[in-house]
Chains A and B, each alone.
Chain A
């Protein structure tokens, strides 16, 4: 399948390994990955902080870029069949917020009335990594080996906005050599919440403290998740406290041990 990667601004700028591993994994599974070079960001930070007017050009830009990627090559597009992002939160923003922003801004006379429908068309073919693998590509054993003790944090937006359910866990259980340990109170938020982590830093930190305590009870070497943002938060706390546990994006585990050799 020909698939467009939406790397997400955070992975692109700060956590390129999550996006690189997504490319390596999909190519190993025999798919063709394209990276629409015009892409930037889904605008979620703006929307979730109340800046919908400012988010509008970012949303319009995202729709323009991936609409073109999804257009058949005969019509000048990239001819991809799906868009994938290594983030439940960014896909949640594309799927649940873009059309809402477009409609609100159209009501204020700031956006084109057709933008919402175009955003919905792009969103309908945009998938989070575990959704793409399990639902679209119909694979759970991706042939990876990862001989480590790992615990999985289901991020709020993948769990409750996208309803990925146990797809990431099914993928992890099929990884050879991986010792998967259940995370206590796994479904509790880690406290990131975008600008919440700065605007309400004390509450955010209190939530993080409990998440770290839960991670520590698992005695895992690695805590994984499908979102670089939540991993940045959990990892930021683990690093500050010098806990001997590292954060690794789900894509890097599924790409398999030694995947960096393919870089």
Chain B
């Protein structure tokens, strides 16, 4: 048995672009902000879910204690991850399951593909699989990898299905089609769903029934299902999926073969730890006290029981693929590893003023929003070329800056991930990476760097600072009616939409010296 995950080194980014989008955040955000339908859909959806969450969180007297417990359990998991992973592997294997270790996306995809192929026969190959909504498989681009091998992966979560049918990408961790309204969904079904009733209306119930009819046919024909996992219990080898629709349970129980792809950070040490997370997760994600479907499975049924007559009651062939894909490197950064505590609830997305306005696609990663802005750069790696780079820079490098540091995400996080502090930490890492890569040693890495160095030189001495203030007072010449309407780049980015007041005729320290200068 080997559990060597490779030394913590440079994260391995998937080449499928699931973490690194085509545009920098400012460029992608500008496009999104211009889409008035998107703004309306997002504003409505996030404010609704925010209110729901606030209501159910407010019901619990011990919410803060639960958050602290969730944070402590996750910190413990990260501290003992190697031992716990070995324990999980032992327990899954002892109960008839198979455990596979994947260093990166390509390795994980190859393992899943081999397992899917092995589930068929030369005469009767498996040509499609059903999927439970899963972020890990989105992250590795599994659907695309299977499609290249001629295997269709059918998403069975309603929102994922909407995204898949329209050849779109998810824009939210929990509500992947949050950017769509029901009129748009009706049109997607009419255009892309096989055998759909042409008289389809945009009533939510009618749309859900159409999806249900389509999915039932798919479930009954499926031989292989692929899922992710919300939790894995090291002490028992149990895997758990939490969902709202019951479509996940169909996938977990009907097909003969079940392949679960799970990030290595999803572990919990003991069964009793679930108690904390099954309270934290539904209230934070969907704003419900309890999620409608919680499925747990332990080993393959041929060894763990089954029905009364001993026949299997679920997948006969159980596989768990443990995915690293940059997680070990993330774990190595003491200030960044908290990102691995995330339970993918999306509460931070729903409260984020940036996400609410730009939506998820602007982040260019399957992990959008505040948690995406700290997780993506660590999983995919930053290159030190931000938006200030001449060519516009690496999209991933711009993500830590996609926040006003307002702190709403930290307050909403059920496991108390200090996202604002991590954003500040990752910004420092980005700048230090850029400085380490500068072409001419001794020269600043960018114009911004030069300005920051100059400002720091001024601000470490009161004499220099008051001299600079006098220079600033010359700005009064630019003002009309006490306001400045236009400044040269880069400050023009401010004055395109905002005035600047004229600098004062007398600074505070000049006033103090004039009126109270005899004091200290």
Contact = CB atoms under 8 A, between A and B. Distances in A.
Q: Do A and B bind each other?
A: yes
A125 B501 CA distance: 32
A207 B353 contact: yes
Given A40-B459, A41-B459, A239-B483, A199 B26 contact: yes
A200 interface: yes
Contacts of A160: 406-408, 410-411
A57 interface: yes
Given A41-B459, A50-B427, A50-B428, A236 B353 contact: no
A143 interface: no
B511 A263 contact: yes
Contacts of A61: 459-461
A104 to B, nearest CB: 7
A200 B401 contact: yes
A162 to B, nearest CB: 10
Contact of B472 (A13, A187, A239): A13
B503 A13 contact: yes
A49 interface: yes
A159 B430 CA distance: 28
Contacts of B150: none
Contact of B455 (A37, A46, A239): A46
A161 B407 CA distance: 8
Given A54-B456, A160-B408, A191-B404, A20 B511 contact: yes
B427 A203 contact: no
B33 A198 contact: no
Contacts of B452: 46, 49, 51, 54
Interface string B477-499: 00000010100001101101111
A12 B469 contact: yes
A100 B29 contact: no
Given A48-B427, A199-B387, A12 B520 contact: no
A198 B493 contact: yes
A206 B30 CA distance: 10
B449 interface: yes
Given A50-B430, A52-B428, A200-B401, A13 B507 contact: yes
Interface in A10-66: 11-17, 19-20, 23, 34-41, 43, 45-55, 57-58, 60-61
B509 interface: yes
Of the listed residues B402, B407, B503, the one surrounded by the most CB atoms of chain A closer than 10 A to its CB is: B407
Contacts of A193: 403-406
B507 to A, nearest CB: 6
B189 interface: no
Contacts of A159: 407
Given A52-B428, A54-B452, A200 B405 contact: no
B421 A19 contact: no
Given A160-B411, A199-B401, A14 B406 contact: no
A129 interface: no
Contacts of B411: 160
Given A13-B472, A53-B432, A196-B403, A239 B459 contact: no
Contact of A37 (B408, B427, B509): B509
A218 interface: no
Contacts of B30: 202
A202 B404 CA distance: 12
B455 A45 contact: yes
B367 interface: no
A205 B503 CA distance: 22
Given A48-B424, A156-B405, A160-B407, A198 B503 contact: no
A189 interface: yes
Given A37-B520, A57-B456, A240-B498, A200 B462 contact: no
A96 B406 CA distance: 14
B499 A47 contact: no
B508 A43 contact: no
Contacts of B432: 50, 53
B33 A12 contact: no
Interface string B223-246: 000000000000000000000000
A17 B493 CA distance: 26
Nearest to A18: B508
A201 interface: yes
Contacts of B358: 203
A202 B30 CA distance: 6
A55 B407 contact: no
A168 interface: no
Interface in B40-90: none
Contacts of A35: 509, 512, 516, 519-520
Interface string B382-419: 00000100000000000011111111101100000000
A122 to B, nearest CB: 16
A50 B406 contact: no
A60 B483 CA distance: 35
B504 A233 contact: no
A17 to B, nearest CB: 8
B503 A189 contact: no
A104 B421 CA distance: 13
Contacts of B511: 16, 20, 263
Given A54-B456, A55-B456, A57-B456, A189 B494 contact: no
B354 interface: yes
Contacts of A206: 33, 357
Contacts of B421: 96, 100
Nearest to B418: A96
A208 interface: yes
Contact of A201 (B405, B496, B500, B508): B496
B508 A203 contact: no
B461 A156 contact: no
Contact of B497 (A11, A189, A208): A208
Given A11-B508, A14-B504, A203-B33, A197 B494 contact: yes
A112 B383 CA distance: 30
Contact of A97 (B404, B424, B494): B424
A131 interface: no
Contacts of B214: none
A12 B507 CA distance: 6
Given A12-B507, A43-B459, A193-B404, A202 B33 contact: yes
Contacts of A50: 400, 424, 427-432
18 contacts: A7-B508, A16-B504, A16-B506, A17-B504, A40-B459, A49-B452, A58-B459, A78-B520, A160-B408, A191-B404, A196-B404, A199-B401, A200-B401, A201-B26, A206-B357, A207-B404, A208-B497, A237-B497
Given A50-B428, A240-B485, 5 more contacts: A16-B506, A37-B462, A50-B430, A198-B490, A207-B354
Closest 4 CB pairs of A and B: A193-B404, A236-B498, A50-B427, A160-B407
